[in-house]
Amino acid sequence: MKLRVDGLSVRFRLPGAVVQAVTDARFELREGRCLALVGESGCGKSVMAHALLGLLPANATVTGHAWLDSLDLITAGERTLAREVRGRRIGLVPQSPAAHLTPVRTARAQLAEALRELDRPETPDELARRAGLRPGDLDRYPHQLSGGMAQRVANALALAGDPPLILADEPTTGLDRPLVEATMAELRRLCDEGRAVLLITHDLRAAERVADDVAVMYASRVVEIAEARTFFTAPRHPYAAGLLDALPTRGFTPIPGRPPELTRLPAGCAFQPRCSRATALCDEQPVLNGVACHHA
Ligand SMILES: Nc1ncnc2c1ncn2[C@@H]1O[C@H](COP(=O)(O)OP(=O)(O)OP(=O)(O)O)[C@@H](O)[C@H]1O
Ligand code: NI
């Protein structure tokens, strides 16, 4: 299994404005690897994941390619995505699991339906056990599930079709530390079993624990891609360095300023107004060659 995202861009048309949510994204992800996609709220992480699955609303325009082996997810069409990709080749752990569960049906009924649709021989109880749920939890309705349990049900749903690629969108939001640890250990186990995981998170500590590689997004663009070990010891993009310096364990120094509006992105480096190293060079868009910065 290999995912190769190549020049992927997403635009949303709004009345009187265009949102550049993802711009010219390029990265690769192979089986057995976990790639953490990090960056501030609103930089385009979830939109990228939804683009891969054909789950964007009608006001979105997607260009570029995303090769899942020999299938281009961007041109594949709804029928192929629905029949062959979603749940079978790519599992999505959504950003707000509670919102993705059907309120009027028990967890067991929802797992059973997913397994039936995917023609899986497993029972809901077997699937639940793999996701760290007890069979008794399955008799609950979504509103009776704690945040952690809803997360596990969402994980179980994402794993129902045994997909080789998992997109996990903020899988630890709202969880307390022990559950964060458990979820991260689970994602790592999925990789070690040979799956590929795209972990979307703003929890850099979590990313450091499980990721093999890190991609940093800023204002719709990937601005740095590196092996996790290298990234966490020596980030190259000034924005990446700023993110790490903002961690409580590393000085708690926030990056000054705010990201730009995605409806009004500058022609050059979008981080320029917040960057202490900016020069006239930054008026030109830097190309991504591991890092997209004229000074790195
Ligand atoms: N349907 C839409 N129409 C217009 N703009 C949209 C739409 N969906 C998302 N956006 C915009 O696209 C941008 C990227 O959103 P996205 O959800 O990918 O951010 P994110 O990086 O996942 O942030 P977070 O960490 O908060 O989840 C945001 O500015 C958002 O407002
Ligand atoms: Ni998101």
Q: Which of 117-131, 257-271, 279-293 has the lowest mean pLDDT?
A: 117-131
Q: Is residue 115 part of a domain?
A: no
| C-alpha 290, offset from chain centre | 19
Q: Mean pLDDT, the chain, as a whole number?
A: 94
CA 194, CA 203: separation in Å to the nearest integer?
Answer: 24
Rg (CA), the chain: 19
The more confident residue out of 77 and 97 is 77
Q: Is residue 2 part of a domain?
A: no
The pLDDT of residue 111 is above 80: yes
pLDDT of residue 200: 97
Q: Name residues contacting ligand 1 (CB within 6 A).
A: 12, 14, 19, 21, 39, 41-47, 57, 59, 95, 202, 262
What is the band of 280 on the pLDDT scale with cuts at 50, 70, 90?
very high
The pLDDT of residue 183 is above 90: no
CA 109, CA 9: separation in Å to the nearest integer?
Answer: 37
The more confident residue out of 180 and 41 is 41
pLDDT of residue 133: 87
The pLDDT of residue 97 is above 90: no
Which residue owns the Cα nearest ligand 1 atom 14? 44
Q: Is residue 230 part of a domain?
A: yes
pLDDT of residue 135: 87
Q: Is residue 221 part of a domain?
A: yes
- In sequence order, what are the beta bridge partners of 196? 165
pLDDT of residue 174: 73
Neighbours of 94 (CB within 10 A): 22
Q: What is the pLDDT of residues 59-92, one digit of tens each?
A: 999 999 999 999 999 999 999 999 999 999 999 9
Q: Is residue 280 part of a domain?
A: no
Q: What is the pLDDT of residues 7-20, one digit of tens each?
A: 999 999 999 999 99
Neighbours of 287 (CB within 10 A): 10
pLDDT of residue 178: 84
pLDDT of residue 83: 95
Centroid of ligand 2 to alpha carbon of 136 (angstroms): 31
CB 147 within 8 A of CB 174: yes
Q: Render the burial of 247-277: b for 16+ CB within 10 Å, e for the rest.
A: eeeeeeeebeeebbebeebeebbbbbebbee
Centroid of ligand 2 to alpha carbon of 142 (angstroms): 22
Centroid of ligand 1 to alpha carbon of 106 (angstroms): 30
Mean pLDDT of the 143-171 span: 92
CA 173, CA 154: separation in Å to the nearest integer?
Answer: 13
The more confident residue out of 196 and 99 is 196
From 43, 167, 220, the mutation candidate for ligand 1 (largest count of ligand atoms within 8 A of CB) is: 43
pLDDT of residue 187: 92
Neighbours of 114 (CB within 10 A): 19
pLDDT of residue 227: 98
Counting ligands in written order, which one lies closest to the CA of residue 42? 1
Q: Is residue 100 part of a domain?
A: no
Which residue owns the Cα nearest ligand 1 atom 17? 46
What CATH code is carried by the domain that includes residue 234? 3.40.50.300
Closest atom of ligand 1 relative to the 48 alpha carbon: 18
Give the structural domain span for 218: 31-55+76-89+163-258
Counting ligands in written order, which one lies closest to the CA of residue 37? 1
Mean pLDDT of the 25-37 span: 98
CB 144 within 8 A of CB 99: no
Q: Is residue 220 part of a domain?
A: yes
pLDDT of residue 103: 92
The pLDDT of residue 217 is above 90: yes
The pLDDT of residue 99 is above 80: no
What is the band of 138 on the pLDDT scale with cuts at 50, 70, 90?
very high
What is the band of 147 on the pLDDT scale with cuts at 50, 70, 90?
confident
Which residue owns the Cα nearest ligand 1 atom 9? 47
Mean pLDDT of the 89-102 span: 88
Which residue owns the Cα nearest ligand 1 atom 4? 12
The pLDDT of residue 95 is above 80: yes
Long-range contacts of 56-59 (CB under 8 A, 24+ apart): 56/10, 57/12, 59/12, 59/13, 59/14
When divided into structural domains, the chain yields a total of 1
Token pair of 1 as six digits: 């299994």
Counting ligands in written order, which one lies closest to the CA of residue 219? 1
Q: What is the pLDDT of residues 221-269, one digit of tens each?
A: 999 999 999 999 999 999 999 999 999 999 999 999 999 999 999 999 9
Token pair of 295 as six digits: 């000074």
CB 120 within 8 A of CB 161: yes
Centroid of ligand 1 to alpha carbon of 43 (angstroms): 7
Q: How many CA atoms lie within 13 A of 102 on its CB side?
A: 12
pTM: 0.95
Centroid of ligand 2 to alpha carbon of 42 (angstroms): 7
Q: Is residue 296 part of a domain?
A: no
